[in-house]
Amino acid sequence: MIHYYDTLFAYISRIIDIPESDRASCRETFRPLFVPRDTLLEVPGKIPHYHNFIVSGFMRKFYVNDKGEEVTVELNDGPRFFTSYWHFVNQTVSNEYLQCITDCELLRITRADAERTSKTSLTQKDYTIRLFQQILEEDKQRINDLATLTAEQRYVKLMSNAPGIIQNVPLKYIASYLGIKAESLSRIRREITS
């Protein structure tokens, strides 16, 4: 289980130095969890109780639109935090699903533990602000890409920036994330490789 925490600390250290006292706090409050593929960690109509950190594996966040179609709004490529973040922070009812696409190794912290450690942590407040800014920037970039790039350009950008997603996530989820039909993505892929 040591590699779970080593992966978390390496991820956090890319943004902020994490002192040993905060590392010890993380070891106490983040609980390791192995989740088999195709498991739904969260479903709509509930308040998210956990902030998840993906140590390994691939997850997606999606909702079901008014036509009954699944719309993928987030995929991960490598270790990162992955949660219905706004609903977790505000403790509101979520309209999203969190699904483990592959087997996943996770670290999870409850809202109560996150609140408690924020009072003693030397870096948690700064890190949370930076994480919030990163999430806002990713959302802004995604909206911009959907509005300004063609489907092919969005796919090429994803191939370049997140090759792990291309290799590990089913085509139908990638197509949904890119805002296109699976058939259109299949055609784009054929055109790129020919």
* C-alpha span between 179 and 189 (Å, rounded): 15
Interval 33-64: pLDDT, tens:
999 999 999 999 999 999 999 999 999 999 99
Please tell me the CATH superfamily of domain 2-119, with its number. Jelly Rolls (2.60.120.10)
Q: Cβ distance 186 to 101 under 8 Å?
A: no
Is the confidence at residue 94, as pLDDT, over 90? Answer: yes
Is the confidence at residue 173, as pLDDT, over 80? Answer: yes
Burial class (CB in 10 A: 0-12, 13-18, 19+), 102: middle
pLDDT at residue 194 in the model:
76
* Segment among 54-58, 102-106, 118-122, 154-158 with least mean pLDDT: 118-122
Kindly list the domain boundaries of the chain, sorted by start residue. Answer: 2-119
Is the confidence at residue 153, as pLDDT, over 80? Answer: yes
* C-alpha span between 36 and 104 (Å, rounded): 6
The conformation of residue 30, written as its DSSP 8-state character, comes to P
Burial class (CB in 10 A: 0-12, 13-18, 19+), 5: middle
